[in-house]
């Protein structure tokens, strides 16, 4: 006797059929996928495509970088005036917002700002900061008072700063801080901006002429009182040029102080951090250094010391990354052997790397007053 199928049996049979159909459908999809992408190569191809795109982008970037790397030396060689701008950096003014006409806004309210004309069409901005002991007396005083202040017993330092920047600051650091230290020790400090800041174009010859003009201007006002020349960084090249001219005329200054000096501009350019990426490029001298020489830029302090006849003090930090310590030491070695400096004091003061003075912080040294006093063989005038 046959058993009748119940509704539950029908539902169970129907469900089984659906499951079997679903299983068949999945297998069908797998076969279709396998047929269209045997071995799953589509995913691998996608990965390879992405990697290929990334490599192409990196290759394009590399080509651009290489193109720029090659183009820069060619441009400098074709247009050597660009190299001159990179040496002087007279187009750089940091910080831009400083009003150089108002040194009192920077806390230098014992400083006078004025302008001189070394030659027709050339104007230079000058700051004269009186010794700190004259600070109260200097408040709100006019040009006549500052001129008369040169007649005090305090000696004078003509300060020649490095490239770029202004008489307030330079790329090497705040110049006014160095001036403040020197003024606190009892010195008049006179500093100026090289031509190219206000008018004219910078050049080694022009900067040296401006320094000579200002030296003579000061000398007319102080008579026989001591006048020292202090140069920093590129300013050391200007300083040795100036002192050589003075010595050739039989009018040497009382002393020359060189802070972070170099031997000559070619050796400094080759040692500068900016030249690192090109230093080992074949033809480096031809592309870069010869372009400097083509602009009549030498700043040959290593030659100048053979024509200088006054005491020379060299200050250099061992961790100076802008002007390497070995260049300052090499200049000292040359000066110590110079016949023209025979009989004059030549001194080299190194500052250990542990002090962290680098290229622009020697003014922080607590030993600086004693160093200057010992070198100049006189107590500081404020004592």
Catalytic positions, written as ranges: 233, 320, 359
Of 222, 237, 127, which is closest to residue 182 (Cα–Cα)? 127
Structure tokens at 307: 């024509």
Strands 156-160 and 227-232, sheet pairing: parallel
- If you compute the radius of gyration of the chain from its CA atoms, what whole number of angstroms results? 36
Q: Tell me the backbone φ, ψ of residue 36, rounded to 5 degrees.
A: -80, -25
Please list, in sequence order, all residues whose beta carbon lies within 8 angstroms of the beta carbon of residue 102, skipping any fewer than 6 positions away.
Answer: 113
Residue pair 167/135 in contact (Cβ under 8 Å)? The answer is no
With 0-12 CB in 10 A as exposed, 13-18 as middle and 19+ as buried, what is 371? middle
Which ranges constitute the DSSP H helices of the chain?
7-36, 41-78, 80-88, 143-149, 175-184, 204-222, 234-248, 265-271, 284, 290-294, 301-304, 325-336, 368-376
Q: Tell me the backbone φ, ψ of residue 198, rounded to 5 degrees.
A: -100, -40
| Distance (Å, whole) CA 323 – CA 38 | 66
Grouping H, G, I as helix, E, B as strand and the rest as coil, residue 361 is: coil
Q: How many CB atoms lie within 10 A of CB 155?
A: 21
Of 77, 73, 88, 74, which is closest to residue 297 (Cα–Cα)? 88
Of 287, 292, 322, 294, which is closest to residue 69 (Cα–Cα)? 287
Stretch (H or E) spanning 153: none
Q: How far is CA 353 from the centre of its chain?
A: 19
């Amino acid at each position: 006797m046959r058993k009748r199928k119940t509704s539950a049996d029908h539902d169970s049979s129907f469900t089984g059929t659906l499951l079997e159909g679903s299983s068949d459908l999945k297998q069908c999809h797998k076969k279709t996928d396998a047929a269209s992408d045997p071995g799953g190569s589509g995913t691998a191809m996608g990965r390879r495509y992405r990697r290929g795109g990334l490599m192409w982008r990196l290759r394009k970037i590399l080509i651009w970088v290489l193109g720029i790397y090659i183009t820069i030396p060619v441009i400098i060689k074709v247009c050597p005036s660009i190299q001159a701008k990179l040496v002087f950096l007279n187009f750089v003014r940091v910080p831009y917002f400083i009003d150089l006409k108002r040194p009192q806004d920077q806390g230098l309210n014992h400083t006078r700002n004025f302008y001189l004309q070394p030659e027709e069409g050339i104007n230079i901005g000058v700051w004269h900061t009186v010794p700190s002991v004259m600070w109260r007396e200097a408040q709100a005083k006019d040009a006549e008072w500052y001129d008369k202040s040169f007649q005090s017993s305090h000696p004078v330092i003509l300060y020649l700063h490095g490239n770029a920047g202004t008489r307030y600051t330079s790329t090497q650091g705040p110049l006014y801080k160095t001036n403040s230290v020197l003024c606190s020790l009892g010195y008049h400090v006179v500093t100026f901006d090289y031509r190219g800041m206000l008018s004219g174009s910078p050049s080694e010859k022009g900067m040296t002429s401006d320094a000579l003009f200002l030296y003579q201007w000061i000398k007319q006002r102080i008579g026989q009182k001591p006048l020292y020349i202090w140069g920093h960084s590129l300013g050391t090249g200007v300083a040795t040029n100036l002192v050589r001219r003075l010595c050739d005329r039989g009018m040497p200054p009382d002393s020359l102080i060189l802070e972070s000096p170099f031997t000559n501009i070619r050796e400094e350019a080759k040692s500068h951090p900016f030249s690192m990426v090109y230093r080992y490029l074949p033809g480096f001298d031809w592309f870069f250094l010869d372009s400097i020489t083509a602009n009549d830029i030498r700043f040959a302090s290593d030659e100048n010391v053979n024509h200088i006849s006054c005491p020379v003090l060299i200050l250099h930090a061992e961790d100076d990354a802008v002007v390497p310590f070995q260049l300052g030491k090499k200049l000292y070695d040359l000066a110590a052997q110079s016949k023209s400096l025979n009989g004059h004091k030549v001194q080299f003061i190194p500052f250990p790397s542990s002090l962290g003075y680098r290229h622009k912080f020697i003014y922080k040294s607590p030993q600086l007053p004693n160093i200057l006093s010992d070198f100049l063989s006189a107590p500081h005038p404020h004592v």
